[in-house]
Amino acid sequence: MPELKHPMSGAIYELQADGLIKVEHRRRIDRFHPDGRHHSGELKQADLHLLGWIGGKQLSRGPRRVDE
C-alpha cells in the first residue's frame, strides 16, 4: 500500500486496505480517515495534507491529451 514519510516530523503515513490511513510516529500508531477524522489510537492529530494526499482520490495515469 502507498506510504509517505512526513518531511518534518518523520511520521509514516500508510494507506490501509480498509481505506483508513495508519500514522506511525515515535512507536505510536494511530488511524485516520482521509478527511482528517480520528479513528483510533493515542495521537489525536495528523497532517491533513498528507492524509488527503495518500488517502484521497487517485487520478488515472492514462494518456494525456494535448490540445493544439
Structure pTM?
0.78
- Chain-centroid distance, C-alpha 13: 5
Give the total number of structural domains in the chain.
1
| Residue 66 within any structural domain of the chain | no
| Residue 12 within any structural domain of the chain | yes
| Residue 62 within any structural domain of the chain | no
Residue matched to cell numbers 490540445: 67
| Residue 68 within any structural domain of the chain | no
Confidence of residue 67 (pLDDT cuts 50, 70, 90): low
Per-residue pLDDT tens over the stretch 2-54 = 788 998 999 999 999 999 999 999 999 999 999 999 999 988 889 999 999 88
Residue matched to cell numbers 477524522: 37
| Residue 47 within any structural domain of the chain | yes
**Would you state the pLDDT for residue 35?**
92
| Residue 32 within any structural domain of the chain | yes
With a cut of 70, say whether residue 64 has pLDDT above it. Answer: no
Cβ proximity of 32 and 39 under 8 Å: yes
C-alpha cell read off for 1: 500500500
Residues spanned by the domain of 48:
3-55
